[in-house]
Structure 1
Amino acid sequence: MKWNKYKLKTTTQAEDFVSGVLMELGISGIQVEDNVQISQEDKEKQFIDYLADLPEDDGTAYISFYTEEDDNAEQLLDQLREKLKEAKSFINVGEGSIEKSTTEDVDWVNNWKKYFKSFTVGEFFIKPTWEEVDEEHKGMKMIEIDPGTAFGTGKHDTTQLCIKQLVEYVKDGDKVLDLGCGSGILSIVAKKLNASKVDMTDIDPAAIEAVYDNFKVNKLSMDNVKVEAGNVLEDEKMQAEFEAEQYDIVVANILADVIIPIAGIVDRFLKPGGVFISSGIIYMKEEEVKDAINNNSNLQLSKVVNQGDWRAIMAIKK
C-alpha cells in the first residue's frame, strides 16, 4: 500500500500544540524532528552514547504524519491550516508550510530480519530462530535468538566483547549476575558455560518476556535463573538481594554513563576475587569508566579490551 506523507514546518515551541491538533484530527502517529539539545540528565537515562551534540537549535521543527493514499486528505489539511491560523494569536506556529510526498508501505516489524544473519563469537554460533544450522557450525555451542524489535541480536561489538570475556572468566558452577540483560543473550551464554545460577535485571519490563522466550527457544531450564525488572541503582531491596548472593561474575553491557555509578556499588555484589565485566563503553568514555572503577577501593582494574570504537573493561574485587 502507498501512503501520503505530510511534513509540516513549525517551531519547537509549537510542537506539543501541533501534535495535539493532529491527534484531535484523528492522526495517531507522528514523527517530530528538531535540534533541541539533550540535557545531561536525559542522556544518562538513555541507552545510547552520544558522540556529538546536535546542530545549533534555530527553533525550527518538522512534524510528519501519514494518510492512506486514497483518503480525502485535503479536508484534513484544510482543518489543520485553519487551526494553525487560529493559534497564531497565542503561539508561534512558524511557517506552517506542508510538504507532501508518497511513500511505500513497509513491514517494519519483519523486514529487519533480512539483516540479522548468523555469526560466530569465539566458540559460540549465534543464529536467528528462522535459520537452519549449517554443517560447518554444528559442532559449536549454539544460541538461537529472536529479539523482536525491542532488544539486540548480540551482533553489536559491545555484546561480542562481553561474550568473549564470559568465555574467559566463567567457570563451571559460577554464579552470574547480568545487569541490563535485554534479550538475555549474555545470561544464555553463562548458562551454556555451565554457570550454576544466573540472575538478571533490566529497567524495561518487556525484557522479562524476551528472556523467558529466548531461554525457551534455547531449551534452557529456568531453574536457578531469576529475572526481574527494576533499576539496581535505585532499588535498595534489589541491591540487598544481590549483595546476599555474592556472585563470581557480574556483567553489565549497558553504556558508560550507567556503568560509572554501577562501578561504585558493584563490589557489594561480588565475592572476593569476583570479576566485574562492563561493556557498552564508547572509546571517548573509557577513561571516565576506568576512573570510576579506580575510585572504588574494593575493585582492582584488571583489563581493557577493544573492538572497533567500543571497550570492555574488567575489574576484580580485592
Structure 2
Amino acid sequence: MCKKWLEISLECPPEFVEPLSHVFYKYGEGGTAVDSIAGYNPDEGEKPPIPDFLTIRTYLPFDHTTQQRLANIEVGLKLVSILCPMGELRTREITDDDWQNKWKDYFFPIPVGQKILICPSWRAVENNQSRKLIYLDPGMAFGTGHHPTTRMCLELLEEVIQNNSSVLDFGSGSGILSIAATKLGAKKCVGIEIEPNAIKSANENLVQNNVQENVMLINDEFNQSLIPNIKFNLVIANISTKIILETFEKLDFNLHETGNMILSGILKDSLHKVENLIEIFNYKIDELLTDNDWIALQISRK
C-alpha cells in the first residue's frame, strides 16, 4: 500500500523565499523546493527576468502530525504576511511513488553573474562556459542564491576575489559565499555563524563541494578573540543593516590595509546610515548594486 503525502505550495515575492523556505523545511519532510527562472542565457548577456512571485513547495506525511504541521506553517505564513501580503497555501494529495522524486523536478541550476552556477547534485550540467559549480541540495534556507542579497554578494565576489587570498565570511549561513570564494581562487576562508542549524547545513555543503580543507566555520557571535591577529584580503557581511552598523568596527579591524569589503542585506531606506558610517572609517564605495529594495556595496579604504 502506497503511503500518501500532502504537497504544500505557496507563491511569494522573491525576497521572502528564504524565510518561508525555513518554515517549510522545519515542518515538512525532504527539504523544500523553489521553482527556478529559466528561458534565458546569461552567457549571451541575457538578464534573468525579475519575477513578481516564486513558488515554494514541501511535503507532509499523512499521519497524526499532518494537521499540526500544516497549522504551524499557516502561523509562520501569517507572521510573514504582516510584512507583505502572500498568496494562499495550495495543497494536493500524492502517493509515495510520486513523492520520492517529484520534489526534485522543481530544482534547476541557477546561473549567477558570469562565473557561478548553483546546482543540485542530481542534475547533469552542461557547463560549456566553465562556470564554477556550487552544489547546494534542498535543506535549510540559509543562503541559496535565490535571495537578492546573496545573489548580489556573489556577483560582487567574482569581481574582486584574488587567487590565494583570504576571506572572512561573517554571517556565513549555508556557506555558499565561502564555497564560491574558494572555487574562485581563495586559499582560506573563515565563516562565522551564530545559528547551529546553519553550521550543520554549511558543513554538509563544504563536503559536497570538496572545499572542507579550505573553509573553517565558527559557531559563535563575532568575537574578536576568535581571530585576533588575522587580516583578511576580503571581508563579506551578508547580514542586516543593524548588524552591519553594530559590527563594522570589528570588520574593519580584520580587513587587510589594501583589502576589499562586501556589505549586503542593506535596505534602501537605511543606506544613508551605512554611507555615514563608512565615511567615518575613511572608506569609499567602489560599486553599488540594487535589486528592488535591497542594496549591496563593495567598498575599500580611501
Q: TM-score, normalised by structure 1?
A: 0.62
Q: Taking structure 1 as reference, are residues 53 and 163 closer, same or farther at Cα in structure 2, changes over 3 Å only?
A: closer
Point out the structure with max Rg over C-alpha: 1
* Percent of paired sites with the same residue: 32
Matched, 1:130 2:122: yes
Superposition CA RMSD, Å: 3.5
Measure, in 1, the Cα distance between the counterparts of 2:154 and 2:221: 23
Residue ranges of structure 1 left out of the alignment (5+ in a row): 4-25, 39-47, 55-101, 233-237
Matched, 1:184 2:175: yes
Aligned residue for 2:11? none
Displacement, 1:249? Answer: 0.5
8 A contact 2:178–2:191 mirrored in 1: yes
Aligned residue for 2:233? 248
Measure, in 2, the Cα distance between the counterparts of 1:290 and 1:110: 48
Q: TM-score, normalised by structure 2?
A: 0.65
Measure, in 2, the Cα distance between the counterparts of 1:204 and 1:275: 26
Displacement, 1:265? Answer: 2.5
Measure, in 1, the Cα distance between the counterparts of 2:109 and 2:92: 29
Aligned residue for 1:257? 242
Aligned residue for 1:200? 191
Which of 136, 149, 153 pairs up with 2:140? 149
Which SS does the other structure have where 1:264 is aligned?
Answer: helix
Measure, in 2, the Cα distance between the counterparts of 1:183 and 1:110: 23
Displacement, 1:28? Answer: 6.0
Q: Which amino acid aligns with 1:159?
A: T
Measure, in 2, the Cα distance between the counterparts of 1:309 and 1:188: 26
Measure, in 2, the Cα distance between the counterparts of 1:253 and 1:285: 15
Q: Which moved more, 1:303-312 or 1:200-209?
A: 303-312
Which of 216, 219, 235 pairs up with 1:229? 219
Which SS does the other structure have where 2:229 is aligned?
Answer: helix
Residue ranges of structure 2 left out of the alignment (5+ in a row): 7-64
Q: Taking structure 1 as reference, are residues 170 and 109 closer, same or farther at Cα in structure 2, changes over 3 Å only?
A: farther
8 A contact 2:143–2:175 mirrored in 1: no
8 A contact 2:140–2:198 mirrored in 1: no
Q: Which amino acid aligns with 1:134?
A: E
Displacement, 1:290? Answer: 1.8
Q: Taking structure 1 as reference, are residues 104 and 217 closer, same or farther at Cα in structure 2, changes over 3 Å only?
A: same
Aligned residue for 2:290? 306
Which residues of 2 match residues 52-201 of structure 1 at below 5 A? 104=92, 113-121=104-112, 122-134=114-126, 136=128, 139-201=130-192
